[in-house]
Amino acid sequence: MNIKTRKNYDIQTIIMSVLTLLTIVSSIAMGLLLYTRYEKAMKQAEIEAADTLITSTVYSVEHYLLNMRQISNTISYNVIQEQDVSSREFNQELSLFYEMNKDKLQSIALYDNNGKLIAAEPVTSQKENVDVLTQNWFTSATEEIENMHFSTPHIQNLFRDDASRYHWVVSLSRSVDIIDGGTPRNGVLLIDMKYSGILDMLEKINRDNNGQYYYLCDSDGHIIYHPHTVEINRGTFIENNEEVASYEDGIYEDRINGENRKLIISTISYTGWKIVGVIPIDAKNETLIRFRYYIITIVIILIMMILFVNKIVSKKISSPILKLDDSVKAYEAGEKPSIYIGGSSEIRHLGRSVQKSYEQIEALMKEIVEQQNERRKSELDALQSQINPHFLYNTLESITWMIEGHRNEDAVFMISELAKLFRISLSKGKTIISIEDELQHCRSYMNIQKHRYKERFAIEYDIDSEILTYCTVKLILQPILENAIYYGVGDMDEDEDARIIVSGVIEDKDIYISVEDNGLGMREEDVKNILVDNQKVPKHGSGVGLINVHTRIQLMFGEEYGLLVESEADVGTKVTVHLPAVPYNKENCEELEKSKIWKG
Amino acid sequence: MKKNKLTFLIAEILLAAIAIFFASRIFFSEKPQKRVAVIIDNSGDEKWNAFVNGLKQAADTYNIHLIICNTDEIENGTEEKNLINEQLDNDIDAFIIQAAPGYDVHQMLTELADQKPVILVANDALTENIVENIHAASTLTKVMPDNYKMGYELGEEILKDNGASLNGKTLGIVGGLLETDCTMKRQQGLKDALADSGCVISWEINAGYDNNVMDILKWKAEVDYLAVLDNEALVQLCEREQSIANNDTLVYGIGTSIKSVYYLDEGRMECLVMADAYGMGYDSVDEIAKVLKGSVYKPDDHVIDTVVLRKEDIFTEETQKFLYTYE
Amino acid sequence: MKKHIIMTIMLFLMILIVLTGCGKSNNEKQKTMRVGVVLYTQDDAFINALTDCLKHYFEEMEDENLKIIMTVRDGKDDQSVQDDVVEGMIDAGCDVLCVDLVDRTAPSKIIEMAKKEDIPIIFFNREPVREDLMQWDKMYYVGGDAEQSGIMQGEIAADVIHADEGCDKNGDGRIQYVLLEGEAGHQDAIIRTDSVVKTLMDNNVKLEKLSYQFANWNRAQAENKMTQLIEQYGEEIELVLSNNDEMALGAVAAYDSMGYPEEKRPIIFGIDGLSDVLVAVEEGQIQGTVYNDKEGQARQMAKLAVDLYKGNSLTGYDFKDEKYIILSYKKVDASNIKEYIIDDTGAAK
């Protein structure tokens, strides 16, 4: 049969575990909450910052382009339309414009509708074999004459350069009305802005942005600036600029190459150009990662501290209980510890209750012991009164016969012996007498018996004189002698030399008084039963005697003392009385009388 | 009771260890950038503009600290070794090197490759068997154009312009530095392309660091065609042409700087073969980054694209995109 | 006994080998000096020529104990680009910097970076503001004195004018002149313009200003402007002063293309001493120029750089205010042109 024993956890473990679980769960929950909130806030802040940056960049670019357009306008209206292109003033004014804006402009050029160069600043020679008519800036200007046209960045393919350099430009072209030598004509005003102007603006906002970047494209999605232009051209970077160009301004989410990103789109007025800010959502922001570690560290330290506090708290709570428990355990183990009183009021109350209970138990136990002693005493007293009455009848009868037979000396002798006998029997109600008195009692008894049994047996006394002054329970030898007479030698013939020997010795702390007869003896079983159970022993008179004596001795002195019976059928019987050697004096008597169990 | 205490202590110690781990990550989370040294001759020269753009862009993407060593001419392996040693003392994790002229460079670089990752760019290190087999290559990782092919393509362009027959025409070849892999390969490629054309090679010279090619050309016979296989020589030639009246020699060249494109535009040469220098820079850093990330990665060779440019090609969108890399 | 002897001999041999090994390595200590030269642009012919001289002088100063590597980089006419270039050079290891600033008012970043790594800077050609140069004791400037160049130009012009009455074509006692200026607001342009005019007047030349035009130091633009001026003033122009040689050559080209015969042309003066102009002086198309002593500057720069690197004392230099090494310009006109022509074809002074 399988009995599964459920483990019983002690109170401290229970408190600790529960508190720990609580701590960990709540700390982690709090950490997670904080982190997610912060993350959200950061992402939000990131987007807002990007938005702000884009707004300001849009403003800058608009401003820049506006500037260009104003230059174009001014030249167109105030210079070209006012001046004849063949005049000196025309060239000077054009030159002035160029000088004023040299840092942003690569060149200003005026062509007629056939692609012939009319004027240009700065002055330099044209490249050979350049077909202006096919260039984008020219065609878009002539096709749509009402608007100004911005091109995408390209290498300027018009003029020779003294330093043999190519220049990347963004062209602003428009159709204009020219006055040439009085004749009105149509032409195209081309203002080539240095690409580096736009490049610088956008490169500045693209520095170190945690994976964010910003790019500029025109309304059809053609890239004007992108930090990864070359990679896009080579195919190693994918951007959805063409798609995005058709979106309205705003914030969008999309997914490219497995990466989620947020797009912020803002349009630059007039040109239709768009600035697109790309913020990867998943990007591992350094600050965010740091913050994550920070939170984790804090949470762990928090847990550590709270665990420590938990331990102290649980200990404080459980310790009085445990101490109380220990006291009780100690008590159960047999010690007599003082019960722990401490801790909270309930524990104190428990402690006190337990203590009181234990005290009550102690008291009750004491009472019981006392009662038992009392009982023993009465038992002893009772036992003492179980003396054979037959002996009295017979002895008085013998005396009557002696008086009737005029054997007066014998009668006197018998009566005085009887008197001695009874004097010692009473012993003024005392239980303890000296061995001398006890032996006197024996002699008296035996003297009386001898008369009755007409000296059919002999009685010898071999007593160590030393023992005479020791204590004994009264009336212990007489029953033994009685038995020895009745069951031992009483039925023996005269010639069989029946004798009874009473001997007594002292060995250190023990006194042995033995009554030995060479009578009938007892069977083995009877020997065994004789001190135990009075039912089995055949009675002549009342066999209570030996058990009575044995019990009384044990009641007084303890179980290690008493009678020892040895017998062999047809050989004899020897009964030995084992007593402790207690000198007969006042104190000892008093103590023994108080029925205190003798403790050697 | 004791068991409790033990459990508690163990838990606390474990937690403390984890906390310290994360705390340290807060402060030391920045992985030190890997440092890559780039050793090329005349590193400040314009001819490397696109290459350096590619290097920088990739270095930015892969978070690599790029050190472009300050150099002028690297004339032999010993000079190169000194530069390398200097950088080894500078905590460098990998090298991107243009092999110096000479036969001893190969061994020196192979030994270096045992210590640190090495990628060769622009030209290979010369190996002894190049004399027998022009296509012999070193065992090091290479990210560079196929120099033989570049010479060959140039030869083919010369043929194309003449209906595949150059009978009786004379050709002068201006090669690059002696004892370099690229010079030998380009020259051989060119010659192989023109092998059956009937073209006569009048003379071959090699440009050097200390001379201006024009000074040498002064003394050479006039030829119908001039094949210039070295960027410096090409630029010097075209520069000086400004002041020298055009003679009838047709120039075909291999170049790496944008100036050479300009001169093509000006008509000073008929045809220009260029390599994608940006790609060379980008791919070499790309490979290095991969090697530095995981120790088991074996770097791959990259053969960089080459373009053959004619004047009319310059302003096509394709070419514009290519030229953007020189910005 | 035998064993003992063998051991001793082996020990002796080992010690010998070690010693010789040590001795050998001592000889291989050749120091390498790195010079970083940063230009404001690679399109300036004068600067390029100066850089070539510099290289030449550095090569001269190499020996078996010292190797000099000179790297030249371009600032692309953008100060922030130049700052980045300097940063890269310092990062790659540099012992001395020679910097021709894009923006002479903005050297602070470069100074900061160099100071941090204890790298001395020799500024050249474009002079930083005095307060900036005084920030640190390891910064120097080597260059010419713009004012001097203007004065000299004025002096040679005055000499020519006084020597030849025919310069005053219309005989009115005044010289009608046009001036081709470099750039609006450019320090050198302003100083040169100012000082040449002043010098002429101080030298008893009466001037009548016809026009000043900006031509951006550029030959073609100067040609264009000159053409316009010729169209406007024709033969009235008696003197053309140009802030630099390139523009002077442009002026010559303008007269060439307009087909003016020699006697109708004005006298033309430039500044710099470019080889083309020296030829023109020899041929009489330009009457004089002021030689910007690029060889001298380069030599001083090279010496100073090496001395700074070696930590030698700098007592042998002719410092002005302890930091400036100013090299004189030299007048070049028909009288001494021969010296310059010979000296310019390769051989350095």
Domain boundaries, chain B: 34-145+277-305, 147-275+309-324
- The model's confidence at residue A598, banded by pLDDT at 50, 70 and 90, is low
Is the domain of A511 the same as that of A408?
A: yes
Question: What's the mean per-residue pLDDT of chain C?
Answer: 86
What is the mean predicted confidence (pLDDT) over A291-307?
87
Is B105 a residue whose pLDDT tops 50?
Answer: yes
CB nearest to B72's CB, from C69, C74, C94:
C69
Residue A11 lies in a domain: no
Distance CA A402, CA B140 (A): 152
Q: Is residue A176 part of a domain?
A: yes
C147-292+335-339 CATH = 3.40.50.2300
Mean pLDDT in residue range A286-304: 84
Q: Residue A192 above 60 pLDDT? A: yes
Q: Are residues A175 and A272 in the same domain?
A: no
> What pLDDT is recorded for position C23?
46
Predicted pLDDT at A503: 92
**Mean pLDDT value across residues A48-64:** 89
Whether residues C74 and B71 touch (CB distance < 8 A) is answered with no
Report chain C residues touching chain A, CB-CB < 8 A. 42-43, 78, 184, 214, 216, 218-221, 223-225, 228, 231-232
CA distance A262 to A279: 5
Asked whether residue A113 is assigned to any structural domain, the reply reads yes
Ramachandran category for residue A233: left, alpha or beta (phi over 0 → left; psi -120 to 50 → alpha): alpha
Region for residue C290 given its phi and psi (left: phi exceeds 0; alpha: psi -120 to 50; beta: otherwise)? beta
Lowest average pLDDT, out of A110-114, C39-43, C313-317, goes to C313-317
Q: Which pLDDT value is given to residue C179? A: 94
In a shared domain, residues A158 and A221: no
The answer to whether residue B289 scores a pLDDT higher than 80 is yes
The correct answer on CATH 3.30.70.100 for the domain covering C31-144+294-327 is no
Would you say how long chain C is, in residues? 349
What pLDDT does A234 receive? 83
Mean pLDDT of all residues in B85-98 = 90
Best CA proximity match to A498, nearest among A565, A449, A441: A449
Q: Which residues of C touch B33 (CB under 8 A)?
A: none
What secondary structure does DSSP assign to A292-345, as a single string?
A: HHHHHHHHHHHHHHHHHHHHHHHHHHHHHHHHHHHHHHHHHTT--PPPP--SSH
User: How many beta-carbon pairs below 8 A join chains B and C?
Assistant: 42
**String of b and e for B234-266 (b: at least 16 CB within 10 Å)?**
bbbbbeebeeeeeeeebbbbbbbbbbbbbbbbb
Question: What is the Rg, in whole angstroms, of the alpha carbon atoms belonging to chain B?
Answer: 25
Q: Which residues contact B202 (CB under 8 A, 6 or more apart)?
A: B170, B171, B172, B220, B221, B223
Enter the DSSP assignment of B152.
Answer: H
Q: Can you tell me the mean pLDDT for A575-595? A: 85
Residue A600: pLDDT above 50? no
8 Å CB contact of A230 and B325:
yes
- In this structure, what DSSP letter does residue A583 have? B
Question: Which DSSP helix (H) or strand (E) runs through C153?
Answer: helix C146-163
Residue B102 Cα to chain centre, angstroms = 17
In this predicted structure, what is the pLDDT of residue A306?
87
Residue A494 class from Cβ within 10 Å (0-12 exposed, 13-18 middle, 19+ buried)?
A: exposed
Please indicate whether, in this complex, the C-beta atoms of C43 and A162 are within 8 angstroms of each other. Answer: yes
On whether both A155 and A251 belong to a single domain, the answer is no
Chain C neighbors of B46, CB-CB under 8 A: 42, 74
d(CA A45, CA A56): 16
Q: What's residue C345's pLDDT? A: 47
Q: pLDDT, tens digit, for every residue of C215-261?
A: 888 888 898 889 889 988 888 899 999 999 989 999 999 999 888 88
Mean pLDDT on C119-123 = 94
- Please report, rounded to a whole number, the percentage of residues in chain B having pLDDT higher than 70: 96
Find the CB nearest A123 among C42, C184, C220.
Answer: C220
Interface of A with B (CB under 8 A): 10, 12-13, 16, 127-128, 154-155, 157, 160-161, 164-166, 168, 228-231, 233-234, 286, 289-290, 293-294, 296-297, 300-301, 303-304, 307-308, 311, 322
| B279 with A304: Cβ contact below 8 A | no
Task: Tell me the C-alpha distance between A219 and A271, whole Å.
Answer: 8
CB count, 10 Å around CB of B25?
A: 16
Tokens at A36, concatenated: 């997610």
pLDDT at C89: 92
**Domain spans of chain C?**
31-144+294-327, 147-292+335-339
Least-confidence region, from A65-79, B17-31, B95-109: B17-31
Mean pLDDT confidence for A238-247: 86
Closest partner residue to C71 (CB to CB) among B46, B72, B87 is B72
Please provide residue A267's backbone torsions phi and psi, each rounded to the nearest 5 degrees.
Answer: -95, 145
pLDDT in tens, B174-224: 988 888 888 999 999 999 988 888 888 888 988 887 777 777 877 888 888
| Residue in B37, B68, B82 nearest the CB of C32 | B82
For the cut 60, the answer to whether the pLDDT of residue C348 exceeds it is: no
DSSP 8-state code for residue A159: B
Computed over every residue of chain B, the mean pLDDT equals 86
Q: Confidence band (pLDDT; 50, 70, 90) for B280? A: very high
Find all residues with CB under 8 Å of A444, minimum gap 6, and list them.
A417, A418, A420, A421, A424
Chain segment A205-237, per-residue pLDDT in tens: 888 667 788 999 988 888 889 988 888 888 888
pLDDT tens digits for range A425-481? 777 778 888 899 889 888 888 888 887 777 777 888 999 888 889 988 888 888 888
Listed by number, the residues of chain C in 49-88 with a beta carbon closer than 8 Å to a beta carbon of chain B are 55, 67, 69-74, 88
Longest dimension (CA), chain C: 116
Residue A122: asked if its preceding bond is cis (omega within 30°), the reply is yes
Mean per-residue pLDDT, A8-37: 85
DSSP per residue over A457-468, as a string?
A: SEEEEEE-GGGG
Place of tokens 């501290």: A305
The CA distance from C224 to the nearest CA of chain A, in Å, is 6
Do A153 and A253 reside in the same domain of the chain? no
Residues A235 and A182 in one domain: no
Residues near B154 by Cβ (< 8 Å), separated by ≥ 6? B186, B189, B190, B193, B227, B229, B252, B253, B254, B271, B273
- What pLDDT was estimated at residue A38? 87
Question: Which chains does chain B touch, 3 or more C-beta pairs < 8 A?
Answer: A, C
Q: Is residue A349 helix, strand or coil?
A: helix
How large is the average pLDDT for residues B81-97?
A: 90
Looking at residue B242, its pLDDT comes to 52
Is residue A85 domain-shared with residue A192, that is, in the same domain? yes
Number of domains in chain A: 3
Strand, coil or helix: C68: strand
What is the distance between the alpha carbons of residues C41 and C51, in angstroms, rounded to a whole number? 12
Would you state the structure tokens that stand for residue C3, as one six-digit string?
A: 């064993």
Quick: pLDDT tens for A469-515.
998 888 888 888 888 887 777 777 777 778 888 999 998 889 999 98
| Exposure class string for A183-214: b at 16+ Cβ within 10 A, else e | eeeebbbbbbbbbbbbbebbeebbeebeebbb
Type of residue found at A359? E
Task: Lowest mean pLDDT of A349-353, A442-446, A539-543, A552-556, name the range.
Answer: A539-543
Residue C189: is it exposed, middle or buried by C-beta count within 10 angstroms (0-12/13-18/19+)? Answer: buried
Question: Quick check: B288 and B299 in contact, CB under 8 A?
Answer: yes
This complex has an ipTM of: 0.85
Structure letter (DSSP) for residue B209: S
What's the whole-model pTM score? 0.73
Percent of chain C with pLDDT over 90: 39
- Distance between CA A285 and CA A263 in Å, rounded? 17
Q: Is residue A38 part of a domain?
A: no
C-alpha Rg value of chain C to the nearest Å: 27
What angle is formed at CA B282 by the lines to CA B310 and CA B108, rounded to 5 degrees? 105
pLDDT of residue C24: 46
CB contact under 8 A, B70 and C91: no
Q: Would you mind telling me the total number of residues written for chain A in this entry?
A: 600
Q: Is C94 on the interface with B (CB under 8 A)?
A: yes
Binned at pLDDT 50, 70 and 90, residue A384 comes out as: low
**A388 confidence band (pLDDT: 50, 70, 90):** low
Contact pairs from chain A to chain B, CB under 8 Å: 79
**Beta-carbon separation of B4 and A12 below 8 A:** yes
* Residue C25 banded pLDDT, cuts 50, 70, 90: very low
| A475 part of a folded domain | yes
**Mean per-residue pLDDT for C194-223?**
90
CATH fold match for the domains B34-145+277-305 and B147-275+309-324: yes
State the fold for domain B34-145+277-305: Rossmann fold (3.40.50)
CATH number of the domain to which A232 belongs: 3.30.450.20
Most confident of the ranges A390-394, B57-61, B195-199: B57-61
Q: What is the mean pLDDT of chain A?
A: 83
Last residue of a domain, one of A164, A197, A230: A197
Q: How many CA atoms lie within 13 A of A57 on its CB side?
A: 30
Q: Which residues pair with residue C71 across a beta bridge? A: C36
pLDDT, residue C347, reads 41
The better pLDDT of the pair A51, B243 is held by A51
Task: Report CB contact under 8 Å: A122, C221.
Answer: yes
**Cα separation, C75 vs C323, whole angstroms:** 24
The strand order across the sheet containing C66-74 reads C66-74, C31-39, C96-99, C121-124, C139-144, C324-327
User: Token pair of C316, please?
Assistant: 């042998």
Q: What pLDDT is stored for residue A343 in this prediction?
A: 77
Q: What phi-psi label fits residue C325: left (phi over 0), alpha (psi between -120 and 50 degrees) or beta?
A: beta
Q: How far is B168 from chain A (nearest CA, A)?
A: 32
> Which CATH architecture is the domain B147-275+309-324 placed in?
3-Layer(aba) Sandwich (3.40)
Nearest Cα residue in chain A from C214 = A99
At residue A338, the pLDDT reads 74
A16-33: average pLDDT:
88
Picking from C41, C103, C224 by the largest number of A CB atoms within 10 A of its own CB, the best residue to mutate is C224
**For B11, which residue in chain A has the nearest alpha carbon?**
A304
Helix (H, G, I), strand (E, B) or coil at A160: coil
- Identity of the residue in C36, C89, C93 whose CB atom sits nearest the CB atom of B90: C93
Burial of C235 (0-12, 13-18, 19+ CB in 10 A): middle
Domain for residue A344, yes or no?
no
Residues of chain B positioned with their CB less than 8 A from the CB of A293: 22-23, 25-26, 29
Contacts of B191 (CB under 8 A, 6+ apart): B151, B155, B201
Range with top average pLDDT, A377-381, B292-296, C5-9, C192-196: C192-196
List the domain range (segments joined by +) for residue A257. Answer: 206-280
For residue C249, the model assigns a pLDDT of 92
